Amino acid sequence: MKLSILAIVGGFAACAAAAPAPTAHVVHEKRETASERWSRRSDIKLNRDALIPMSFGLTQRNLDNGFEFLMDVSHPESKNFGKHWSMDKIADTFAPSTETLEAVKTWLKESGIEDDRLTVAKGRNWVKVELTVGEAESLLRTEYHVYTNTQTGKEHLACSDYSVPAHITEHIDFITPTIQFDATVKQMPKRDLSKRNMKVRPFPIAVRPDAAPQPEVTYSLANCDQYITPDCLRALYDFPNGTLASSSYGIVEYTPNTYLQSDLNVFYANLARQIPSGTGPTVDLIDGATTMGGTKSFDNQGESDLDLQYAIALVYPQKVTLYQNGDSIEGSSFGNFLDAIDSSYCSGDNPTYDAVYPDPASGGYKGAEACGTIKAASVISTSYGYNEADLPASYETRQCNEYMKLGLAGTTFVFSSGDSGVAGNNGDCCTKAKCAGGTYNTGGSGTFNPAFPATCPYITSVGATQIKPNTAVTATAPEEACETVIYSGGGFSNVFAMPSYQSTAVKSYFTSHKPTYTATQYNNSQTVRGYPDVSANGANYVVAVDGALGLVYGTSASAPTFGSIITLINEQRIAAGKSTVGFINPTLYANPSAFNDIVSGGNQGCGTAGFTAVSGWDPVTGLGTPNYAKLLSAFLALP
C-alpha cells in the first residue's frame, strides 16, 4: 500500500539547503531569506519511500508577447479594439511547445520515471507525477525536511533550493512542492480566503424578512454622507438604472461565505423597491459549493449579502451570476475558480494554496474539480485577496498571466485593493525589505505589504473613498480617501513591473508628489506596478445581513460598485452593436478626465501616515472615482 508524506510525518512539512549541484545542473529556484516563522524539525526523519505529489509547470509559449496581444484588443488607439479572441485561440497561442513537453518527459524518463506514471494537463502546461522523497531529492539535487510554523504549529514539506539540468531551465517555470511555505499567516484553514476586505459597524434597525419595516432613518440624498444606498451611488457617479438586460455580471464568493435570499428581500423592500421580492442571482456552484450556509452570522453572510445586494440593485434587470466556490471542508482559491472558467489552466493547482478535488477529507465533495465547465461573465468582481508576500512570485506571475488571457477573451476583472492602507490583511506589515521571507509584524511598524491580485497588471484594482461629512451629494462634488473604519489599500508591487498603460500617470506622481519614504518602507524604484487603478465609495453602505440593516465599510463595497458601472457601459455598447469592453485599464488611463480626482485623505498603516491622495493618479485612490457619462462617452467612441 502506498503511504503519503502526511501519513508518515503527521502533517505538512518544508526543506533545507541542498548539496552542491553537479555542473550539468543549475539552481532553478532558491528561497532568498530564511523565514523566522518556520523552524526546521531535526527530530523528524523523512521516509524516503513516502510519496510527494509533484507538479511541473511548463514554460508557455508567447507569454513575452501577451501584453502586446492584449493591448491590440484593449488599447483605445488600436484598430482591433474589442476584437476579442476565442478560448481555443488563446489556448493554442500560449500552450507549451511540443519541444518543451518532450524535453521534460525525456528528462524524467532518463531519471527513471516512465511515461505511464505521468499525467499531462489538457493544455499541456502541467506535468504531474507522484515521486518518492528519494526520487524527488535525486531528481532535483535537493534535500527535503519538515519545518514547523512557529506561530501556528503547522508542519510543511519543502526545500531551500532545487536544481534542474541546464537545458531544462528554459522549459520549466517552477516545480511544486519545493521552496514554498504554507501561505497561512494566522491560524486559519490552509486555503482560507476569508481575510475579507470588509469591516462592519452595528446599525441598530430591526427588520423582519416578511414585512417592510418602518425605519427610524429616512434614506435620501441629503444624508448619503451617513448612509450610502444605491440611489446615493447613482447620484455620486451619474449613472442610470439598467434597462436592457443584455450584458452579464459575475460576483465571486468563497465558501463558507454565502448569501441569504431573505436578506436580499429585506434590502429590496427598503432600498431597491423596483426589484421583485425573490429576485436572486443565477448560481454556478463550483467544486461542491452550496448556497446553504451554516450559522447565520455576519462572518458567514456579510460579504455575499453586500456584494449581491449592490450588484443586483445597480444593474437590474441585467443578469448577475454568483460563482460560489468550494465545499465546506476544503474551501477554494483563485486558482480553483480560474480552473472552472478556463480548462487550459486546470491540473496546475498547488496543494499548498489551492483546494484539491475530489476532496479527500471526510464529508468533502467527492466529484471531480470543475475544469472549463463555467462560462465567464463579461465583468467579474472579487472582494477577496492575499498579501503579495503570502505566495511565491512564480505562482502569482502564472496566475496573473491567466487574467491576461481571459482579458484577451473579453472579460473585465475587478478586485478590491484591501482595507488596511499600506499594510496587508489584518494590518500585517513586513519586518524585512520587500517582505522577503513573509515575516509579519501584526499591527505595528514595518515594511509596506502590498496586496495580490490587486497588483497584477491585468486586473482593475479598486480603492475606497468616502463622502466628506456634511457634504451634499452631486456628481461634481469630490469625495475624499476613505478614513472611516478602513483605509484604502494601495502602494507599489514587489513582484510586477510597471505596465506601460500607467507609466505616464505614475511617473507624474513621482515627479510632482514623490513620497519621503525610503526603500525600507516600500519599493521606490519607480519601475513597478502601482495600485489601485480607480476608486469608488466604500463607507457607510446600508446592507441587510441576517434580517437586519447595518452599515458596512470596505473596498469590498467599492469593487462591485465599480464593476456595476462597467456592466452598464457594456449594456450600451451591446445596444450600439459593439463588443463588451474587456480589459479596461488602457482606456481608463487614457481618459483621466473621466474620473473625479480625489485630492485629500490618506491610507495610513505600518506605523506611518501611508500615502496621500493628490492631484492625478495616486497610490490611495488611483485615477479617482468614475464619472459614468464621461466614461460611457469614451468607450462608445471606440470600435
The phi-psi region of residue 323 (left if phi > 0; otherwise alpha if psi is between -120 and 50; otherwise beta) is: beta
Contact 607, 445 (CB under 8 A): yes
Say which amino acid occupies 615: S
Q: Which residues of 224-245 are buried (b: 16+ CB within 10 A; e: fewer)?
A: bbbbbbbbbbbbbbbbeebeee
C-alpha cell at 317: 434587470
Annotated catalytic residue within 307, 327, 390, 396: 307
Query: Is 88 marked within a binding site?
Result: no
Q: Flag whether 182 is marked binding.
A: no
Cell readout for 285 is 456552484
Partnered with residue 576 across adjacent β-strands are none
Contact 400, 456 (CB under 8 A): yes
What single-letter amino acid sits at 630? K
618 is in an annotated binding site: yes
Residue pair 617/502 in contact by the 8 Å Cβ criterion: yes
Residues 501, 586: contact at Cβ < 8 Å? yes
Of 155, 263, 303, 390, catalytic? 303
Half-sphere CA count of 111, side-chain side, radius 13 A = 21
Say which residues have a Cβ less than 8 Å from residue 321's Cβ, sequence separation at least 6: 248, 249, 250, 251, 281, 282, 283, 284, 377
Grid cell of 85 as nine digits: 479572441
- Check whether 349 is labelled as a binding-site residue: no
State CA 73 to chain mean position distance.
23
Which of 163, 381, 556, 564 is labelled catalytic?
556
Distance separating alpha carbons of residues 291 and 382, to the nearest angstrom: 17
88 annotated active-site? no
Label the pairing between strands 625-626 and 161-165: unpaired
Q: Coil, helix or strand for 621?
A: coil
To the query of whether residue 303 is one of the catalytic residues in this protein, the response is: yes
Write the DSSP assignment of 81-135 as a string of letters. TT-PPPHHHHHHHHSPPHHHHHHHHHHHHHTT--GGG-EE-TTS-EEEEEEEHHH
How big is the CA angle at 573 (ends 572 and 577), to the nearest 5 degrees? 115
Catalytic residues: 303, 307, 556
The annotation places the binding site for Ca(2+) at 597-598, 616, 618
